[in-house]
Amino acid sequence: MEYPSLEPGQLARVQGFIENYRNKNQLKVDHMELIDPVQVAIDYADFLPTSTIPPEKLMENIEDLITEHIKYAPWKSFCRKVLNNEDIRRHLLVAPGAKTVHHAYIGGLLEHSLQVARICMSICDVYPNLDRQTLLVGAIFHDLGKAWELSGGLINDYTDEGRLLGHIQIGQEKLEPFLKRSKTLDEGLKLHLKHLIASHHGEFEFGSPTVPKTPEAFVLHYADNMDAKLNIIDQTYAEMDKTGQEWSPYVRFLERNVFRPQPTPDKTRQQHDKPENQCLLPLKG
């Protein structure tokens, strides 16, 4: 009997049994049937790596940050309208944070946005003159376009739009109608938000159409960069934990080997010493 050949991304229902052959498990297929994901309800999270904290919970955490920090009604209303837009919300709940480098899992984009937002808020505690509210809006939406730049799903690849325009422009396009409709939001604030998104890559050589020109834009750029790097290290550590190494293999994206230093002895920390979860997010009580 001939089975259909399987392409990457194709789902199939397989029936068979496991045999042990030369100390390795081998799958003997009895029956195989292609699955049309349009007809059968599929929870992709069953097949794909997902953020430790479920996307819905991450979304809730973001909404909590808005409630906590945004007091200016037009900003609050703007954020809610964007996040409650059905198309946007659906995309955000499954979007990865990148293709391969960091946060490359379901919920990755939300997790990244949340952590960047948290960093920004904590920096505002140190520099109270920063415009905390506009910065938070920028942090939450800085990578919004990534939800359309990448296809997500089983084959997480760039979309045509993603490759031909980039996530910065896609994000601006998605936010533009909401900005136009928000009559109470001052033009200066809208311009600042658009600048935060346009400049968050920080340097022209990274394809930033412009560079940070306000303190908030600098903070967003560093926060974005820092979370991406820490997420890569975190995943590298998870690999190193399997073999017990102190030094990682060469990490191409960081262009270096990563080291796990000896930690300061700390009773409070010890119970966290062997983290089971993949990401650095603090567990909520």
Q: Which of residues 209-238 bind its own copies (CB under 8 A)?
A: 209-211, 213-216, 218-219, 222, 225-226, 229-230, 233-234
Site string for its own copies, 97-116 (x = CB under 8 A): ------------------x-
Complex with its own copies: residue 80 or 260, whichever CB lies closer: 260
Instruction: Pick one of 13, 31, 71, 89: the residue that binds its own copies (CB under 8 A).
Output: 71
Contacts of 19 (CB under 8 A, 6+ apart): 25, 26, 28
Complex with its own copies: residue 4 or 209, whichever CB lies closer: 209
Instruction: Pick one of 26, 67, 84, 122: the residue that binds its own copies (CB under 8 A).
Output: 122
Complex with its own copies: residue 13 or 256, whichever CB lies closer: 256
Answer yes or no: are the C-beta atoms of 124 and 135 closer than 8 Å: yes
How many residues make up the chain in this entry?
285
- From the CB of 33, what's the least distance to its own copies, in Å? 26
Complex with its own copies: residue 19 or 203, whichever CB lies closer: 203
- Output the DSSP codes for 151-203: --SSS--B-HHHHHH-HHHHHHHHHHHHHHH-TTS-HHHHHHHHHHHHTTT-S
Give the position of tokens 């194709």. 10
Instruction: Pick one of 72, 77, 99, 101: the residue that binds its own copies (CB under 8 A).
Output: 72
Complex with its own copies: residue 14 or 190, whichever CB lies closer: 190
Q: Is there binding between residue 7 and its own copies (CB under 8 A)?
A: no
- Output the DSSP codes for 85-114: -HHHHHHHHH--SSSSSSS-SBTHHHHHHH
- Angle of helix 132-141 relative to helix 187-198, nearest 10 degrees, comes to 50
